[in-house]
C-alpha cells in the first residue's frame, strides 16, 4: 500500500533557501576547525534559552542526558525517589533509574499529563524531585505542581522534550521548574541532524554545574571536580539548531493551525475525542503530537492505512508495564487513566508540511469509518 499521507517527513520539509546558510556555516566551521563547543554552541544555547524563557541553556548530546545530568545537577542520586508520569517516552523514567534513583509513577489526569491531585500521596521521605512531562507538547498544570513542590521542598525538572514553544500564561515551558530538559532528536518540533539535547535554567549555579557535568567534570583544562560524562552538543548540530530556531515560530503556528482544522472537523464525531478534551485557559499547546482517543482503534488504523494514511500510537505500552519496570512492582489498577489511554490513543499526522487537503482527506477517512 502506498502511503499518500505519511506520519513523518524529514529532509523534504525544508526549502533550499533555508538550507544554504546552514551549509555555508558548516563550511566555515571546517575552516576554523572549532569542532568542539565554541561560539556556535554558545550562540545556539543563548537563542534556545530565550525561547524557553530562561537565562541559561546548556547544549548536550541528547534529551535523555538533559534529564539525567539535570537530575544529577539538582543533587538527586542513589536511594532518592523522583515522581513522574507512566505514559511518557521511556527516557523520563530511565534517566531517574540510571542515576540510581527510583522512578515513582503517578497517574495522569484528563489532560493526559501528571495529575497534581494525586501527587501528594506519592511523596515519601525519599522524594527529591518531581518530573512533569509536557506530553505531546501540552503543558502540565505547573502552578499546582510547583506549589506542591515548594510545600515539600522538592526540586522540579520538566521533561519538555516534546514541548519547545509551549507556554502557560505566556511563560514558556522549561522555565517553570529548576531545569527544563529538551531533546533535539530529528522527530522533535525543533530538531537537528542527529542526536542532541539541551537543558535550560534560570539558576547561575545549576548552569555552571551542568557545564561541568557535560564535560568530564573539568573545571579547567587540568582540574577535575568530579568524574562525569562527555555529553557536549556537537558544534555542527548547534549550527543546524540555531538556523532551525528561526523557523520555529512559523512551524509551530502551522502545527497549531493543523490542529484547529482537525478539531473543527472531528470534535463532534461520536466515538472520537480530540486533544486535549478540556484545554486550560492561558495554555499554548504546540502539538508535537495530535493525540486523539478513538473507539475500535485496530480497525480504524487499518481503515486509514488502506487509504494511504499513516498513524501512530504514543505509546502502546506504558512504562510501568515494560520489562524494564518489573522490579518496581506495579500492578493492575495502579494507573487506571494511563492504562485506559494506552488502549484508546491514536496520533494523527500533524507535521507542518500537511496541506489543508491532506487534513481534509484524513477527516473524510475517519468520518467514513464511523458513519
328 close to 103: Cβ distance less than 8 angstroms: yes
DSSP string, 142-158: HHHHHHHHHHHT-EEEE
| Residues near ligand PLP, by CB under 6 A | 62-64, 88-89, 91-92, 133, 159, 161-162, 183, 185, 195, 197
Q: How far is the CB of 47 from ligand PLP (least distance, A)?
A: 19
Cα 329 from chain centre: 26
- Please, what is the minimum distance in Å from the beta carbon of residue 288 to ligand PLP? 8
Please count the other Cβ atoms lying within 10 Å of the Cβ belonging to residue 143. Answer: 15
| In the complex, minimum distance from the CB of residue 87 to ligand PLP, in angstroms, rounded to a whole number | 10
**Shortest spacing between CB 131 and ligand PLP, in angstroms:** 10
Smallest distance, ligand PLP to C-beta of residue 20, A: 27
Residue placing its CB nearer to ligand PLP in the complex, 94 or 119: 94
**How far is the C-alpha of 99 from the C-alpha of 259, rounded, in Å?**
38
CB-wise, 60 or 366, nearer to ligand PLP? Answer: 60
| CA-wise closest residue to 198 among 319, 81, 14, 47 | 47
Q: How far is the CB of 189 from ligand PLP (least distance, A)?
A: 11
167-188 in b/e burial notation, b at 16+ Cβ within 10 A? bbeeebbbbbbbbbbbbbbeeb
Shortest spacing between CB 195 and ligand PLP, in angstroms = 6
CB-nearer residue toward ligand PLP: 132 or 349: 132
Is residue 61 within 8 Å of residue 233, measured between CB atoms?
Answer: yes
Q: Which residue has the cell 510501568?
A: 320
- Determine the Cα–Cα distance for residues 180 and 187; give it in Å rounded to an integer: 19
Is there a contact between 114 and 145 (Cβ–Cβ < 8 Å)?
yes
Please list the residues that pair with 234 across neighbouring strands.
Answer: 36
Residue 278 to residue 264: CA distance in whole angstroms? 15
Please say which residue, 140 or 266, places its beta carbon nearer to ligand PLP: 140
Compute the least distance from the CB of residue 349 to ligand PLP, in Å.
Answer: 17
Which residue number places its CB atom closest to ligand PLP?
A: 63
Q: Are strands 167-168 and 171-172 parallel, antiparallel or unpaired?
A: antiparallel
Q: How many residues does the chain have?
A: 371
| Grid cell listed for 109 | 489526569
Strand pairing report for 167-168 and 127-131: unpaired
Residue closer to ligand PLP, measured from CB, 158 or 361: 158
Q: Residue 137 or residue 349: which is nearer to ligand PLP going by CB?
A: 137
Angle (CA) 77-83-84 rounded to 5° is 115
284 vs 288, which CB is nearer to ligand PLP?
288
Characterize the bridge pairing of strands 171-172 and 179-183: unpaired
Pairing assessment for the beta strands 155-159 and 167-168 based on DSSP bridges: unpaired
Q: Please state the closest distance from residue 52 (CB atom) to ligand PLP, in A.
A: 15
User: What is the smallest separation between the CB atom of 312 and ligand PLP, expressed in angstroms?
Assistant: 13
Amino acid at each position: 500500500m502506498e502511503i499518500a499521507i505519511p506520519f513523518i517527513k524529514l529532509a523534504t520539509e525544508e526549502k533550499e533557501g533555508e538550507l544554504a546558510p546552514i551549509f555555508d556555516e558548516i563550511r566555515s566551521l571546517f575552516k576554523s576547525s572549532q569542532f568542539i563547543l565554541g561560539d556556535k554552541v554558545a550562540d545556539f544555547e543563548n537563542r534556545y534559552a530565550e525561547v524557553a524563557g530562561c537565562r541559561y541553556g546548556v547544549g548536550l548530546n541528547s534529551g535523555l542526558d538533559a534529564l539525567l545530568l539535570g537530575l544529577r545537577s539538582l543533587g538527586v542520586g542513589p536511594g532518592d525517589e523522583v515522581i513522574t508520569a507512566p505514559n511518557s517516552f521511556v527516557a523520563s523514567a530511565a534517566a531517574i533509574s540510571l542515576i540510581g534513583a527510583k522512578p515513582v509513577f503517578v497517574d495522569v489526569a484528563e489532560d493526559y499529563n501528571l495529575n497534581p491531585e494525586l501527587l501528594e500521596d506519592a511523596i515519601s521521605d525519599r522524594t527529591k524531585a518531581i518530573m512533569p512531562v509536557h506530553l505531546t507538547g501540552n503543558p502540565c498544570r505547573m502552578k499546582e505542581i510547583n506549589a506542591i513542590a515548594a510545600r515539600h521542598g522538592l526540586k522540579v525538572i520538566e521533561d519538555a522534550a516534546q514541548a519547545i514553544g509551549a507556554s502557560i500564561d505566556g511563560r514558556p515551558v522549561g522555565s517553570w521548574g529548576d531545569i527544563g530538559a529538551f531533546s533535539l532528536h530529528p522527530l522533535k518540533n525543533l530538531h537537528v541532524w542527529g542526536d542532541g539535547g539541551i537543558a535550560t535554567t534560570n539558576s547561575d549555579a545549576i548552569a555552571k554545574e551542568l557545564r561541568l557535568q557535560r564535560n568530564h567534570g573539568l573545571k579547567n583544562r587540568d582540574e577535575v571536580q568530579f568524574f562525569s560524562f562527555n555529553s557536549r552538543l556537537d558544534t555542527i548540530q548547534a549550527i543546524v539548531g540555531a538556523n532551525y530556531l528561526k523557523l520555529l515560530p512559523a512551524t509551530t503556528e502551522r502545527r497549531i493551525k493543523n490542529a484547529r482544522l482537525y478539531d473543527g472537523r472531528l470534535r463532534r464525531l461520536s466515538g472520537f475525542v480530540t486533544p486535549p478534551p478540556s484545554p486550560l485557559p492561558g495554555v499554548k499547546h504546540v502539538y508535537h503530537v495530535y493525540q486523539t482517543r478513538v473507539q475500535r482503534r485496530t480497525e480504524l488504523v487499518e481503515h486509514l492505512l488502506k487509504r494511504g494514511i499513516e498513524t501512530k500510537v504514543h505509546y502502546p505500552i506504558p512504562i510501568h508495564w515494560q520489562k524494564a519496570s518489573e522490579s518496581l512492582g506495579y500492578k493492575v489498577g495502579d494507573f487506571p487513566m494511563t492504562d485506559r489511554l494506552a488502549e484508546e490513543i491514536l496520533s494523527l499526522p500533524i507535521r507542518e508540511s500537511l496541506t489543508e487537503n491532506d487534513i481534509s482527506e484524513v477527516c473524510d477517512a475517519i468520518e467514513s469509518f464511523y458513519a
